[in-house]
Amino acid sequence: MVGGSRLRAWKATLGGLMVVLAALTACAGPYQYYEGTGIHDTTAGEVAGGWENVEGTRVVLRKDGTALLEKLDGQDFDFEDGWRLSGTGTWQLTDDNGGQVVRLTLTARTRAESRPTATATDTSTPEPPSTYAWSFYVDRDQNDELKLFFFHGDPDIGNTYVMTRETGS
């Protein structure tokens, strides 16, 4: 009988551990463990130029490290607030173990507006920031064309906000 009690105690402990592990990993979406695209061969000259999104966003990354932003949405959970920022800023191409990232910083906001399809859950939407920073992952599509993206919304879902080369650029 003593062996049966130990076995039940062992099963209960193991079951409890499984519940704790399940709870800890329940919020671990694809973004939370994203390590980058593995792209390391892009130059700043390739990244410079006009970029657009299907939502009407436009970003111009100038060769001198300055940037022009029009209607750029917030990254991560800030996307849920529904604001879109326009203005000027700076950018730089960085490289780490996971791949290259474009760091874009809005330094002077000229306009803030709401996205028409905003999903803000609170009627008292926070004031859009006057400065903001984004991190765009650098990737290539199936035709080896550059694309820039960041994750937005709930990280468990893994939604991406993709910027492609501006038509005509």
Secondary structure percentages of the chain, helix, strand, coil, to 5: 20, 40, 35
28-37, 95-104, 150-159, range with the lowest pLDDT = 28-37
pLDDT band at 167 (very low <50, low <70, confident <90, very high): confident
Measure the CA–CA gap between 15 and 97, rounded to whole angstroms: 37
* Residue whose entry in the numeric block shows the structure tokens 């049966």: 4
R_g of the chain, CA atoms, integer Å = 22
Strand pairing class (146-152; 66-73): unpaired
pLDDT tens track for 51-103 = 999 989 999 999 999 999 999 999 999 999 999 999 999 999 999 999 999 99
